[in-house]
Structure formats: C-alpha cells, structure tokens
Structure 1
C-alpha cells in the first residue's frame, strides 16, 4: 500500500479522483496478456511510463545480435496499487527479464547479495529511541535499474514496444533489470559505492548498515533493505546532506518520518519507539478465517507435549508450512509467541492434526492481542544485558535440551 500524495485543497483532490476514475474505470483487473493491457488506457499508460523510465536510465542499446550469442526473453508484470481508502491509487507495469533462461558463465556470474538483518534494524530503532534521534525513510524508485552490468547480456525487445522498422534488433543491456539473476548484486554494489563516496563506512557485521562519525562526535546511521532506506543519528545537517547526495545519484522519494518498514508499523514519540505488526497479524487471521475465533489468554497449552507423528497427517502440509512461516515473521515484534512458533516449526516436514491444533491455538492468542508489540523506551544511558536459560532434557523423543537467550538495553 503506497502513501498517498497530499494535495492543497479538497477541490484538487476531487479533480484527481475524477481523473483516476476516467483513466482506470469503475473496476480494474489484472490483464491476462500484453494485448489486453495495451487496449486499456490505464494499463497502457503504466507501460508507457515504465518504458520512459527505462529509456531515460539508459538501460539498453538496440543492436544486432552478435554471432554465437543468445537472448533472454522478457515479459510484463502488472500490479494494482490501492490507497488507504481502498480505491485504486495507480496502476503499475514492470518489465521483467526471464532470468531463468540465463546461462551461468555466459550471461551471469556471482549473484550473492546481502540482506539487512532484522536484528540490525531493531538495534538502530532502539538506539534512536534511547538517544531521541529522528527516524527518516527514503525509497529508491526502480532500484534494480541503477545497477551496472559487467556481463554481456542481450534481451528481446519488450512485447508491444518493438521499435518500428527495427524488429530484427535486440536489447544490449547496459543496466541491470528486474528478473536478471545478477540484478540484486549489481544494485547493492552501486548503492554501496554511492554511500561510501559520501564518507559512510560499512559495518563489518552487517554489510547493509552504514555509519559516519564526525569530529564533533555526531553520528549518522543508515540501513537499506533492497530499495527501502532508514536513516537516523545525531548529525542533523549531515543527514540532510546525505539525503541530497542520494537524490543526486538516484530517483529517490523522501517519505519523511519513519512509519512503516518491512511490514512493521513504527511510531516514535518523546517516550520512545513502538513497533507492531497489527495489520500483518489481522491479515493472517483473515486469510485463515480466524477473525471471529474465540480468543485465549496463552499462546500454548502447557499440558500438551508435541511429538512427531502425533495424530493423522495433514492433507495439505504446504498450508501448515506457509502459516508457520508467516507466524515466524510476526515474532519480529511479538517475542511472546517466539517459543510456541519455534515448537510448531519442528514439524514442518510431516505435520499432523495435533500440530495444526497448536498453530490454531497461537492464532486464537493473537486474536486477543493483535496490536501487541515492542516498546523501546527513552530511558537515558543504557548497557547491554543478556540472559540465557535451558530446560533439562525437555524433548520427550530424544531428551535434548532447548535453550533460549535474550539481550536487552537496560538502564545503567
């Protein structure tokens, strides 16, 4: 869901709504083919906008395919962006390369690209709360298109947009494109270079975290997750200069104060920073038909010991795995369900009815506390304190112990 752009008056808003209604129609559905998309004014405009962005970025040159070289295909992917009011905000079309046809050693080499650790994100948020630092968010538009390609990659011309009189030519890619195997790596390399040009240093423990300390002992911290950027720190002038540096190199949207990041709702006040995943939790309940379930006070029944092969095997184990995966992501702001989720995660290979009942119990608990989250308080000087514990041969099948740990920033 995208943040709507604010307009100066109700009249301007009404004009924009009328324009959208005329362009999109009363109802919009995803097109099933390029021909269908081109016949709809809204989707056609979205495709034209995407092509304009690709050309302005210098993504490719039209050339004759050299002998012995092959091309990768491409296709259009469509998405309907809905605003907070539930109405269509805009239509988006993205040109995606068919990376699954690439050949290793010819079309691509290394593909590894790091991803920010959620622990790093939480640490920065807790530091911002502790020091009363402002939290800012930026979004890089068409991030993957900014990466430079080291390999020689040729792609077919986009469906529906073959250059007139040049149907025999192909696209020699100069920049990375969504769908290519090396695109994430190329984008990270480019972004890392630009940020380090500003004077930021890269963390040795998390390569997606950058920092800078000036002579006045003021600091800037930046964490990036693909195209979403969070910036915080005490060097307010430096933060503004860093933003301008990014605006110069990338088409960047300043989203203002941090409110929503990776599905996490974030609210900052003088008391600290609150993290929650209320919308995500309610979405899980809705998808599973549990919005109207009877809530319970605890996420797990202490009198039930789960073991492998307990009950009838589930007819659709994939559903169990998907749901447990979503619950695992919810533990980012819900440490109260971390242990129950870790228990039901032990039976992903062959889940049974009893294991499914345990998952349902977690959902019933979430129903009673959908908005519960984590509060990082502004409590002055703190220190890192850790706790650890383990049961004693708690597993009923192999008598292995289960250990756990917790690290906090506590007041000195």
Structure 2
C-alpha cells in the first residue's frame, strides 16, 4: 500500500542541477519575533489561537519543472522495469519541495478570500462582516484564530477538505514557547524556553 510505504516515495538524494531540475527554492519562514507579535496581538484582541498540522506537507506542492525519478524499491514494474516516473507533485528530498508546498498553501488561502501580509508573507488575514480570522504558516504547522468562532471553525473545515490535516486543538507549545491561554479573560501567559531574556513574561489584554 502506498500509504504505508510512502517513505519509499522520496527523491532518494539524486543530484539536481539548478536551471534544469529546479529553479527557485526559497520558501518564506515565520521568524520567532513574528510568532511573539501574533501572540501579543491575539491576547490584545481576545482571540483563542488553535494549531493544525499539514500531513506530508511537501507532497502537496505541484512542481513546474520536468523531473523524473526511478521506480521505488519493491514497486518496480515487471512489464517496464527500465522506465522512470515523471513527477507531477513534489517529493521529500527535492530542492523545490518546500517552495512548492508553501505555494500550494498560499494559493488556497488567497482563493479562500485571505489577504497576504505585505511584509510578512507567512501571515494571512480574512475580514468578513466585521470579524477577522488570522492565519500564520510555519512550514507544515499553521496557527490560526479570530474574533468569530464560526469563521475559525469554517476555516478548519476548509483546510481539512483540501488537505490531510491533524487538528491539534488549542495552541500550547510552539518553537520552544509554552503558551497558556486564559479561559475567561482571554489572556495569554507566555514562557520562552529557548529565550531566557523573555522567560516568564505575561501578556494580558
């Protein structure tokens, strides 16, 4: 079964040459400072932040280059053992896989009505009827929340229909940060395990 053996479907570290097998490889990554700003903003607005993970994220991106891979071990065709596969989507190990994955997520969010940040390309906002939904992408992890529970729930459903997702619930741990979200006062208690200078700080509305 492909699902059980998807680890075999990788690029197998074969050599890629720029301009032939790949062009651009850069994919925006949210900085820790940007995550902290998002937490402060959510606390000030009383947003409850949630977290989800895109399963096998690098397998979702479409590639524009013409790339071929050999047949995976134990999955060789008995009829055509010398043939190769032409890729339509990215695989883990391809240099353009992170960029292709981000491009797929970005395209879906923009089609869903979100607006991408002018400076921070990992931040997306959706305004609808006076309510706001905020989304931040960090590779295959997504932090999201907003002023409307219905909009936030709708976003989670949309993502689950488009991608295979793991809904992880309320945001608690992220990039070495421990986030404790208040139940009634909508406050966030933030402790940075990786940054002693900010350890123990508290962000309240």
TM over 0.5: yes
Q: Aligned partners of 1:172 and 1:264: how far apart in 2?
A: 42
1:135 and 2:49 are equivalent in the alignment: yes
**In structure 1, which of residues 251, 256, 278 is the aligned counterpart of residue 169 of structure 2?**
256
Mapped to 2, the partners of 1:266 and 1:205 lie a distance apart of 25
* Runs of 5+ unmatched residues, structure 1: 1-44, 52-92, 279-329, 337-371, 379-412
Equivalent residue number for residue 112 of structure 2: 198
Summarize the alignment of residues 118-267 of structure 1 with structure 2, pairs less than 5 Å apart: 118-215=32-129, 217-267=130-180
Q: Does 1:49 align with 2:4?
A: yes
TM-fit CA distance, 1:131:
2.1
Per the alignment, residue 381 of structure 1 pairs with none
Deviation digits for residues 318-342 of structure 1 (CA, Å, limit 9, x no counterpart):
xxxxxxxxxxxx22xx325xxxxxx
TM-fit CA distance, 1:117: 2.2
Q: 1:164 to 1:225 in 2, by over 3 A?
A: same
Residue correspondence of structure 1 range 270-349 to structure 2 within 5 A: 270=185, 272-278=187-193, 330-331=194-195, 334-335=196-197
Q: Report which structure shows greater RCO (CA 8 Å, sep ≥6).
A: 2
- Deviation at 1:100? 5.8
SS at match of 2:119: coil
Q: Summarize deviations over 1:239-261 as a string: whole Å, max 9, x none.
A: 11111111111001111111122
By percentage of residues, which structure has more helix?
1
Give the structure 2 partner of residue 374 of structure 1. Answer: 201
Partner-residue secondary structure (3-state), 1:139: strand
Q: Residue 213 of structure 1: CA displacement?
A: 1.5
C-alpha displacement of 1:104: 1.2
Could you tell me how far 1:275 is from its partner in structure 2? Answer: 2.4
Alpha-carbon distance between aligned partners in 2 of 1:180 and 1:227, rounded to the nearest angstrom: 16
Q: Count how many residue pairs are aligned between Structure 1 and Structure 2.
A: 203
Per-residue CA distance 1:10-31 (angstroms, 9 max, x = gap) = xxxxxxxxxxxxxxxxxxxxxx
How has the CA–CA distance of structure 1 residues 205 and 180 changed in structure 2, closer, same or farther, with 3 Å as cutoff? Answer: same
After TM superposition, the runs of 4+ consecutive aligned structure 1 residues lying more than 4 A away are none
Residue 118 of structure 1: how far off its partner (Å)? 1.9
Q: How has the CA–CA distance of structure 1 residues 236 and 277 changed in structure 2, closer, same or farther, with 3 Å as cutoff?
A: same
Distance 1:165 1:121, change over 3 A: same
Q: Does the CA-based 8 Å contact 1:130-1:377 persist in structure 2?
A: yes
- Contact 1:202/1:210 (CA < 8 Å) preserved in 2? yes
Aligned counterparts, 1:26-37, within 5 A: none
Report the CA distance between 1:205 and its aligned residue. Answer: 1.1
For the 8 Å contact 2:48–2:186, the answer to whether it is kept is: no
Gaps of 5+ in 2: none
CA deviations on 1:266-318 (whole Å, 9 max, x unpaired) are 2111362122344xxxxxxxxxxxxxxxxxxxxxxxxxxxxxxxxxxxxxxxx
Q: Distance in 1 between matches of 2:104 and 2:93?
A: 17
User: Secondary structure of the equivalent of 1:134?
Assistant: coil
Change (3 A) 1:158 1:373: farther
* 3-state SS in 2 of match to 1:108: coil
Normalising by structure 1, what TM-score?
A: 0.47
Q: In the alignment, is the contact (CA less than 8 A) between 1:136 and 1:257 conserved in 2?
A: yes
Matches within 5 A, 1:1-20: none
| 1:99–1:181 Cα contact (<8 Å) kept | no
Deviations 1:106-164 (A, max 9, x none): 11111111111222211111122122211111110001111001010001122233233
Q: Closer, same or farther in 2 for the Cα pair 1:158/1:94, shift >3 Å?
A: closer
